[in-house]
Amino acid sequence: MSYPQDSDWLIDPGYCGSILKDPCSPNLKKRVVECLSQFRALDNPNNPSIPYISAWREDDEVIWYEFVGSRLPELLGCPADKTARVLADSIIKRSVYVCRDEEENIRQKSIQQKNLASKRKTLRRESKHSGSVEAIYKIALHTGEIVWLKDQANIESFADDNICLSLGGLTCVTKEMKEAEQSAEAGNKLRQEREHLDQLLEKQEKEIWKNQLEIVYRLAKATELRDNQASIHLTKMSHYCNILGKAAGLNNLQRTLLFHAAPMHDVGKIGISENILQKPGPLTPKEFELMKSHSIIGAKLLSGNNSKLLKMAKTIALTHHEKWDGSGYPNSLHDNKIPLSGRIAAICDVFDALTSERPYKKAWPADDAFGELYQGKRHHFDPELVDLFLQHIPEIMEIHDRFSPFPLR
């Protein structure tokens, strides 16, 4: 049985489906025609979502598009009639987010690419039962680029045809998901380091060490609340200091202490006004004097404890703005009178500040930042440590690109 409007769509090159061509029920064809008209109007650059109408038979694994917005085939680099298959083959991971308990803690449930094919029938049954789909797909494009698309759709079932329609849209959430993935990776790295450190310490020291880490990371968390960029900065600082500390000959325990103490370098900024911290332009001389006090504030916050970790954190907070020629602050230390941990943190802090975007500046290109460190030898930085840092550029760039929202290469 045909529907009166079928011919309008059969000759339309934008129609990539089969329901209007196949012997389907009038109700189903009528619904498809209605949706085609509505969804075509939504297919425009001003709509952040890519509209689509997909369909599947309940006794078959094949899914196809009755309509798909033009941006999805362009993104996948394929014709519209191949989009469903190419998209299915390009999905690396499918994730949904569910409330874990009454406190509404969110838990991510993911299915990896190798398991998706065997789960598709189950997922479609669940979608039909709930009447909706909400999931995020991590996709590997033919160009090698990774993107994330959020799928939100309503499901309609047509029992006479044994066919379900999915009426929805795909929204690019690459920036948000990349940041979330980087944050999770950073958290995993820190957990791994803590586990490694536990193995190095004697059993009787473990409880003391855990308490110290708790103090350090609570203070780091407080610093993050003052600065939206702090989380990624602190993570990179830990890894940069670890690389430079190893090159400088620190042993495993010293490097582990440095890794966990380095994020405390700016903890004193807790005591600095928000107006100064977030100012989009240069600081006045008076504001800069107030900003300089963060090193002393940080040292005071971390004082009064004999643990190796908090002692190193205090040293770094107090001395990471001292300069090799004695022109730094707060105590005008020079040469080797500046503790090694402070000299290491100074180089890593400046490099990350130069290569990161701030309210008052754009990120520097990596080559310019490395050049600035080289120019600062014997004036700002320990010259031997600068040379060691520059000998490990590939490792430094790997850390930067792994944890930065916008890699420099």
Residue 23 CB coordination number (10 Å): 9
The verdict on 258 and 282 lying in the same domain is yes
Q: Of 64-78, 93-107, 330-344, which range is least confident?
A: 93-107
How many other CB atoms are there within 10 angstroms of residue 103's CB atom?
A: 6
CB proximity list for 177: less than 8 A, separation 6 or greater = 136, 138, 148
Indicate whether 282 pLDDT > 80: yes
Q: What is the pLDDT, as a whole number, of residue 5?
A: 45
Task: Give SS3 for 365.
Answer: coil
The domain boundary residue, chosen from 131, 153, 172: 172
The neighbour count for residue 105, using CB atoms within 10 Å, is: 9
| Assigned domain for 39 exists | yes
pLDDT tens digit string along 85-127? Answer: 999 999 999 988 776 555 556 677 888 888 888 888 888 888 8
CATH number at residue 219: 1.10.3210.10
Q: Does 219 share its domain with 368?
A: yes
Q: Residues 28-42: pLDDT tens digits?
A: 999 999 999 899 999
Is 291 found in the same domain as 356?
A: yes
User: In terms of domains, do 40 and 60 share one?
Assistant: yes
> Could you tell me if 398 and 293 lie in one domain?
yes
Within this chain, do residues 291 and 313 fall inside the same structural domain, yes or no? Answer: yes
Is the CB of residue 357 less than 8 Å from the CB of residue 363?
Answer: yes
Provide the number of structural domains found in the chain: 2
**Angle at Cα 11 formed by Cα 9 and Cα 17, nearest 5°?**
55
Distance, in Å, from the CA atom of 123 to the CA atom of 403, rounded to the nearest integer, reads: 33
Domain co-membership, 297 together with 337: yes
The pLDDT of residue 181: 84
Instruction: Report if residue 375 sits inside a domain.
Output: yes
Strand order through the sheet with 63-68:
63-68, 49-57, 163-172, 146-158, 132-140, 91-99, 106-112
249 pLDDT higher than 50: yes
- Read off the pLDDT of each residue in 356-376 and give the average, rounded to a whole number: 88
Among 153, 154, 155, 151, smallest CA distance to 170 is for 151
8 Å CB contact between 226 and 276:
no
Angle at 391 between CA 388 and CA 393, to 5 degrees: 115
**pLDDT on residue 393:** 96
Range of the structural domain that residue 228 is part of = 181-403
- Percent pLDDT > 90 in the chain is 55
CATH number at residue 10: 3.30.450.20
CA distance 349 to 353: 6
**192/142 same-domain check:** no
- Looking at the structure, do residues 159 and 27 belong to the same domain, yes or no? yes
- pLDDT at position 407, please? 56
Claim to verify: residue 258 and residue 345 sit in the same structural domain: yes
Q: Which two tokens stand for residue 299?
A: 């040292």
Name the CA dihedral angle for 383, 388, 391, 393, rounded to a multiple of 10 degrees: -100
**408 part of a folded domain:** no
Could you say which of 117, 150, 172 is where a domain stops?
Answer: 172
* Opening angle at CA 231, ends 225 and 234, nearest 5: 120
Residues 28 and 89 in one domain: yes
Burial 378-409, CB ≥16 within 10 A → b, else e: eebbbeebbebbeebeebbbebbeebbeeeee
- For the chain, the maximum distance between any two Cα atoms, rounded to a whole number of angstroms, is 91
Residue 365, preceding peptide bond in cis (omega within 30° of 0): no
Q: Does residue 247 belong to any structural domain of this protein? A: yes
Domain closes at, from 155, 172, 189: 172
- Reported residue count of the chain is 409
Q: In 3D, which of 45, 2, 49 has the Cα closest to residue 21? A: 2
Are residues 103 and 151 both part of a single domain?
yes
Q: What are the φ and ψ backbone dihedral angles of 63, each rounded to 5 degrees? A: -120, 145
